[in-house]
A and B are shown apart, each in its own frame.
Chain A
């Protein structure tokens, strides 16, 4: 069995990850903005008699890294043993893309062949661009394959070539006379100094030495190779051309490519308006851009809530009315001891069931977020928001990690890798927890369902906006105190709008929802068991007098100013909520549910019951459609009060104001243990400490403020 390592390299947002997904059937996250992939990912594939390891790398414009994620890609290409590079290029924008190809060609020293994949070939056809692939092949000395990553066109050819080993090693380009002579000399010196053991590809290192690249000259210096002796000659060339030496190299590369592109690519006379231009005129309008962004976010929440509400009712009924009933019937039948019955039904099923009933909500939210991400709107939102971000000392690119935070905070913290400076990265990452992630939505759904039934979407949008405002305020404070400094350049590519394929959308929704359900079955179920223990120990006491009950009632004093200190259950739910935010909902379900006796009588008939549930599902589909697209008023299918006992208990313990204060607290409170882990991996312990400090002090201050202002204005 042959083993082959293939690295995918290319500019940001050219479809490297989409190609890997097509090549291997993997389901890695894709999107239409530069910087979706921020870490190195490996996917294995057995094709014929070869084991191929595909390595997906973050996008790079050149082999000179500016940010963390670019460095990851660069270091891998230079330091690892690679059998072939698949250089993915956006063939609608071939000139800029080939710049990187000329740099990759310098790695030829290692004998690494390059396969040039011309992605977006369908768009090239549609636009009437003619590309002479044979000419490109012969000039660059590589093989060229036209492909469409999202629908798999060209994938078989690529695999076939990779397996056959019928690959070509490119010829590095020759620079102008003076430059070439100098590079050659460094090359020879490197070769005679290191013999065969040069730590870098020789040609690449020689160019870097002439460019006076700090990192490489220093590394070579440590090994005893004096790179400074070429400085004088390089400076001579700089004087002659009146430019920085690295810039001269870049210019020569570009003029080589420009020449090639002029010969090989024929563009038709460009039509005045393309779809992207029309859409941008709307979405990036001077005045309307920002209101449109807010309107879009509002629509996302409105449709998410209206569309999912009937399904949530249905799942709730399915779990609590159907599954719970039959489970406890079976448990009674099996004659399990009382404590075990209580653990399973009151402990695990109550909590996990409540969390799972929000799966439809997640499906809807992830669907709309995936649409925004995969059409290319995200990069536009960053453009529109840059001014606002800049005025509080944030980077325009910070906006993208923050928006990803709406889906989940963990990838959002990783996404800060696209920022060039460590300080900006840290600042942005520390603000991410204030972005309300999907896991927090069930909490809002539960409380708004009780107190703000008519205005669920509006209240939730308000919460999201509060999160954003708080993050901006905290950003200003951090920028003025701990993390001072200038904000770096903001240069971002704006990709054309693209239609997301159903497969892409489905992958995105499926992976996320699967993770949510998986979490409910593992982490949350386990938390529920632990929570049950603490609410039942010492055994036989009432929940208020249990370990957790006593402790929470002591701690509750702290939350009196914020308005929800009189409910020990609410306070107790926050504690396991640090493990994962959905646990708050699960814990409330368990804590408010404990006093209830589960129905254990044998109900009607199993088959009848099942039929009822299936019928319920179709009714839910109909209701969802009506409520998303108007016509029927909400009153028609109001949640049946009797099946949600927890709702009445919450209504008794909270007022609308204290419920809002509680939601705000949950919004800003430590997101979850995995997020803290991400901080540790990206920045180390001290940042974990700062993050915990910020996400405990800030929520307390804000919800106290809101509650007291609310009381003053008479909302209580």
Chain B
């Protein structure tokens, strides 16, 4: 499952980040990396960016980037 398809309010676990190495590295440096938990906070209208909470802070990713982040469900919250 991709982050772009994730449901608002749910928590997931990142399984893999795809894309060019520079992009993967930047996401990793910001803590968006395999094994990390993400909570999907909201999606902007009209296919705009997605806001997620990861490592205790909030970050927004555009849909195209969110497509590159693969997830597995994390059961229930917390």
Contact = CB atoms under 8 A, between A and B. Distances in A.
A495 B51 CA distance: 12
A495 B57 CA distance: 8
Contact residues of A: prevailing secondary structure: helix
Interface stretch (A89-97, A155-163, A363-371, A597-605): A89-97
Contacts of A281: 42
Interface residues of B, number: 32
A494 B28 contact: no
B46 interface: yes
B58 A494 contact: yes
Contact of A254 (B23, B28, B41, B48): B28
Contacts of A284: 42, 44, 51
Given A96-B30, A280-B42, A244 B47 contact: no
B60 A383 contact: yes
Contact of B43 (A251, A286, A290, A493): A286
B41 A280 contact: yes
Interface stretch (A59-67, A191-199, A301-309, A574-582): A59-67
B45 to A, nearest CB: 5
Contact of A491 (B27, B42, B47, B56): B27
Contacts of A390: 48, 62
A204 interface: no
Given A64-B29, A254-B33, A286-B42, A383 B49 contact: yes
A244 B51 contact: no
A224 interface: no
A405 B59 CA distance: 24
Contacts of A493: 30, 57-60
Nearest to A490: B62
A386 interface: yes
A489 B47 CA distance: 15
A669 interface: no
Interface string B55-78: 111111110110000000000000
A633 B29 CA distance: 56
- Which of A99, A247, A251, A290 gathers most chain B CB within 10 Å? A247
A657 to B, nearest CB: 35
A490 B42 contact: no
A33 B31 CA distance: 19
A383 B44 contact: yes
B45 A387 contact: yes
B59 A491 contact: yes
Interface in A281-330: 281, 284, 286-287, 289-290
B10 interface: no
A383 B50 CA distance: 9
Nearest to B50: A383
A396 B27 CA distance: 17
B29 A62 contact: yes
A384 interface: yes
Interface string B14-55: 000000011111111111010000000111111111010001
Given A383-B60, A386-B48, A387-B44, A96 B21 contact: no
Contacts of B61: 489-491
Contact of A93 (B21, B22, B55): B55
Nearest to A34: B59
Given A96-B30, A250-B29, A290-B45, 19 more contacts: A61-B30, A66-B22, A93-B56, A93-B57, A99-B31, A246-B25, A247-B24, A250-B25, A250-B28, A267-B56, A284-B44, A284-B51, A289-B45, A383-B44, A387-B45, A387-B49, A390-B62, A396-B62, A493-B57
25 contacts: A64-B29, A92-B57, A95-B55, A96-B30, A244-B24, A246-B25, A247-B24, A247-B25, A250-B33, A277-B41, A280-B41, A280-B42, A281-B42, A284-B42, A284-B51, A383-B48, A386-B60, A390-B48, A396-B60, A490-B49, A490-B60, A491-B60, A491-B62, A494-B60, A495-B58
